Amino acid sequence: MKKILILLLINFIYLNSGTIKPKRVKAKDRTTHRSSSHSSSHHSSKGVREDILFSSFEATADVSTELSFALSTEATSYSTVDERRERYEQRYIEVNRQNINLNMAQANGEHLSTLLKLLELKEDRELLTAIQNNFEHLSQLNNQHLSEALIKMQS
C-alpha cells in the first residue's frame, strides 16, 4: 500500500511539474527591468521583495524540474520498483540535504518527516530523539549511509 501511495505521489509531482514554467532572467536584466518599470521611491523595498519572491519561485521550479526529469528517466529504465524507490530516496536526500540536516538537529520538520516516510520508518518520539542525539555523526554521512543509518536506528 505504501508503494502505491509513493508511486501516486511521484506521478502527481511529475504531472504537475510541467505546469511550472520558470523564466530565466539574469541579474542585469532584473535590474534593467526594475529601473525601467519602477520609480526610484519604490525601488528599494519593492525591488528587494520581488527579487526574494523571484528567487524562491526559481529555486522551487528548479527542484521540481530536476525531480520530474529524474522521475521521467526512471520511468523509462528497466530497473525494479525497489531500485527506483532507492534512487528516488537518494535523490530526495541529495536535493534536500541541508533542510534534512536542520530537521535532524531539531528532531522534527517536514523534510525529515518526508524522508522517514520514504524509508518506510515509523516517526515516533524514540526515533526522533535518537536522530537528534546522533546528529553530529548522521550529518557527516553520505546520502546512502544516512539512509542505512536511519533504518538501523529504527530496528
Is 28 domain-assigned?
Answer: no
Q: For the chain (length 155 residues), average pLDDT per consecutive 10?
A: 69 59 50 45 55 57 60 59 86 94 94 93 94 95 94 88
Q: What is the pLDDT of residue 42?
A: 47
Is 21 domain-assigned?
Answer: no
Q: What is the pLDDT of residue 81?
A: 78
Is 124 domain-assigned?
Answer: yes
Host domain of residue 49: 2-16+44-154
Cα(129)–Cα(70) distance, integer angstroms: 33
Round the CA-based radius of gyration of the chain to a whole number and report it: 20
Is 105 domain-assigned?
Answer: yes
Cα(90)–Cα(115) distance, integer angstroms: 10
CB 119 within 8 A of CB 147: yes
CB 93 within 8 A of CB 53: no
Cα(99)–Cα(102) distance, integer angstroms: 5
What is the DSSP annotation of 104-123?
Answer: HHHT--HHHHHHHHHTT---
> What is the SS3 assignment for 24?
coil
Q: What is the pLDDT of residue 48?
A: 58
Q: What is the pLDDT of residue 57?
A: 55
What the block records as the C-alpha cell of 138 is 548522521
Is 35 domain-assigned?
Answer: no
Is 148 domain-assigned?
Answer: yes
- Number of domains forming the structure of the chain: 1
Q: What is the pLDDT of residue 80?
A: 79
